[in-house]
Chain A
C-alpha cells in the first residue's frame, strides 16, 4: 500500500486538496495510486480513505467532495444489503465506475489539449509590436527619512481627512407622533384628507409614517380609511362616520365605484 509519508498510518494518504480538480479527481487518484481495478473498487476502503482526506478540509469549500462522500457511503450501504435472490440488478458501483472512466478520459483529452496549446504558443503570428517602454531608470536609493515620511503622511491625511464622510442623519419621526396627529385632526372634524395631514410636514419619511399610523389605527378600528377610487384622495374618518358614507362619493370604498 502506498504511503507517501513515514508518519502516516498504513493506508492513510497525505494529499493536498488543491492538487485535485474535484472529487472525481481525488477518487481516481486514490484508485490509481493503489493499482485498484476500477471495475472492482473496494468501496469500503476507498470510502474510508476518501473521508480521511476530506476530513482535513474546510467544509465550506468542499461541498462537492461531501456529495461524493455521501454517494460512496450510499454505495457501500447498498453493497451490504442482501439482494433478492435470482433478481438480477446492476452493481451499485456501476454508475460511479462509468463516471470515473469518463472523467479519466476528460483528463487524457485535457492533457492533450495542454500540449497542443503549448505547441501553438511557440508559433507567433505577425503581431503588432507596441513601442517598448523606455528602459527602467536605475533604482534610486531611498533617501527619505522617517520624519519626512511622517510629515508627508500626516499632511496627506489632514488634506484629505475632512469632508470625506457622508453623513446620513436619521430622521426621528415616530409612529406615535403621527397617531396623535391623526387623532387630533379627527377631534376637529369627522374626516380628514390624508394629503392635508402630509402637507403639514413635507418629506417622504413623514408621508410614510403618517400612512403607517393611519393603517395602524385602521387595524385597531379606531379610524376608517376611505378612497373613492385608486390614486384619489385618501380620507381618514372617525369610525362612526361609516354610517354617513352615502353622503359623499369620496367616502365610498375602493372597489365600489360606480
Chain B
C-alpha cells in the first residue's frame, strides 16, 4: 500500500483540516516528510486526472475540498451545509481582533466607533474568536483572539495570510501612535490641547 493511498484515505474521512503530524499517526511508517511527499503526489494525480476536488492547505493542515468552479452545481443542493457569511459589523470586529489580538472589547469599540458587544458574542458563538486572556487595568478586561476556525472560515493557512501590516498605509499594528503629533510634544500623556477621546 502506498503512502499516498493511506494519506488519501485519512483526508477523505476527515471533515476538518488535518496537519501533517496528525496524518502521520495513521501508520508507523509515516512521518511529516512522507506525508508532505504523499500530498504532493496526490495533488499531481488529481491534477492529471482532472478531479473535481483538490487538497487545499488550510489552517496549518490539509483538507479535501471541491474546486471552486463546481460551486454552481453544488449550489443547487440546498441540503448541503455550508457556512453562512458574516455581517459587515462582524467582519469589522474580526479584522480588528485578527490584527490586534489579544484585544479587549473597549478597544474594539473605540476603533469601530460603535458598541460591539453583540458582534463579539456572535463571533464567539461561531467559534471564530475566543477569550485568550485578561488585560491589565481596571476590571481585568477579557481579551479576544482568533481561533483555528477563523482560518478555516476564510481558507487561510495561517494568520500571515492576512494582508501584511506593511502593505497597509498606517496604523492597525500600532495602537496608540499618532501620526500627526507635533514634533515637540512627544509625550503621549494627552496633556495639552489634544482632542483625545478616552476609550470607554
A113–B85 CA distance with the chains assembled, in angstroms: 11
Q: In the complex, what's the smallest C-beta–C-beta distance from B75 to chain A, in angstroms?
A: 9
Q: In the complex, what's the smallest C-beta–C-beta distance from B199 to chain A, in angstroms?
A: 11
A88–B185 CA distance with the chains assembled, in angstroms: 7
The bracket for how many chain B residues form the interface is: 35 or more
Q: A121, B83: Cβ atoms under 8 Å?
A: yes
A72–B139 CA distance with the chains assembled, in angstroms: 30
Q: Is B138 an interface residue (CB 8 A)?
A: no
CB contacts (< 8 Å) of B115 on chain A: these are 64
Q: A88-B182, A108-B163 are in contact. Are A123 and B66 (CB under 8 A)?
A: yes
Q: In the complex, what's the smallest C-beta–C-beta distance from A253 to chain B, in angstroms?
A: 43
Q: Is A158 an interface residue (CB 8 A)?
A: no
Stretch at the interface among B27-35, B40-48, B86-94: B86-94
Q: A113, B91: Cβ atoms under 8 Å?
A: yes
The contact of A109 among B12, B162, B181, by CB within 8 Å, is B162
Q: B81, A128: Cβ atoms under 8 Å?
A: yes
A21–B115 CA distance with the chains assembled, in angstroms: 10
Q: A120, B113: Cβ atoms under 8 Å?
A: no
The contact of B111 among A64, A94, A103, A128, by CB within 8 Å, is A103
Q: A88, B183: Cβ atoms under 8 Å?
A: yes
A68–B109 CA distance with the chains assembled, in angstroms: 13
- B49-91, CB < 8 A from A: 56, 63-68, 71, 74, 77, 79-83, 85-86, 88-89, 91
The contact of B171 among A25, A71, A98, A122, by CB within 8 Å, is A98
Residue of B whose beta carbon sits closest to that of A81: B193
Interface of B is mostly: loop
Mark contacts of B143-158 with chain A using CB atoms, 8 A cut-off: 1 yes-contact digit, 0 otherwise: 0000000000111100
Interface of A is mostly: helix
Q: Is B98 an interface residue (CB 8 A)?
A: yes
A240–B114 CA distance with the chains assembled, in angstroms: 67
Known contacts A91-B180, A123-B67; 20 further A-B pairs (Cβ under 8 A): A21-B88, A22-B114, A23-B113, A64-B115, A90-B181, A92-B193, A92-B195, A94-B178, A101-B171, A101-B179, A102-B170, A119-B68, A121-B82, A123-B56, A123-B71, A124-B66, A124-B74, A125-B63, A127-B82, A133-B79
CB contacts (< 8 Å) of B179 on chain A: these are 97-98, 101
Q: Is A223 an interface residue (CB 8 A)?
A: no
Q: A129, B168: Cβ atoms under 8 Å?
A: no
A89–B178 CA distance with the chains assembled, in angstroms: 13
Query: Which of A39, A74, A91, A93 counts the most B-chain CB atoms under 10 A from its CB?
Result: A91
- A66-115, CB < 8 A from B: 68, 71, 74-75, 78, 81, 83, 88-99, 101-103, 105-110, 112-114
Q: B111, A106: Cβ atoms under 8 Å?
A: yes
Residue of A whose beta carbon sits closest to that of B171: A102
Q: In the complex, what's the smallest C-beta–C-beta distance from A252 to chain B, in angstroms?
A: 47
A93–B168 CA distance with the chains assembled, in angstroms: 22
CB contacts (< 8 Å) of B94 on chain A: these are 110, 113
Q: A23-B113, A101-B171 are in contact. Are A94 and B181 (CB under 8 A)?
A: yes
Q: B15, A106: Cβ atoms under 8 Å?
A: no
Residue of A whose beta carbon sits closest to that of B69: A122
Number of interface residues of A (CB under 8 A): 55
Q: Is A232 an interface residue (CB 8 A)?
A: no
Q: Is A117 an interface residue (CB 8 A)?
A: yes
Q: B168, A124: Cβ atoms under 8 Å?
A: no
Q: B156, A105: Cβ atoms under 8 Å?
A: no
A123–B68 CA distance with the chains assembled, in angstroms: 5
Pairs of residues from A and B, 6 with the lowest C-beta to C-beta distance, nearest first = A120-B155, A22-B114, A24-B113, A109-B95, A110-B91, A123-B65
A92–B181 CA distance with the chains assembled, in angstroms: 10
The contact sample of 18 A-B pairs, CB cut-off 8 A, is: A22-B114, A24-B112, A64-B113, A71-B195, A90-B192, A92-B194, A95-B178, A95-B195, A95-B197, A101-B171, A109-B162, A109-B172, A116-B155, A123-B68, A124-B71, A125-B16, A125-B64, A126-B15
Q: A71-B195, A88-B182, A102-B111 are in contact. Are A120 and B170 (CB under 8 A)?
A: no
Q: A110, B111: Cβ atoms under 8 Å?
A: no
CB contacts (< 8 Å) of B172 on chain A: these are 102, 105-106, 109
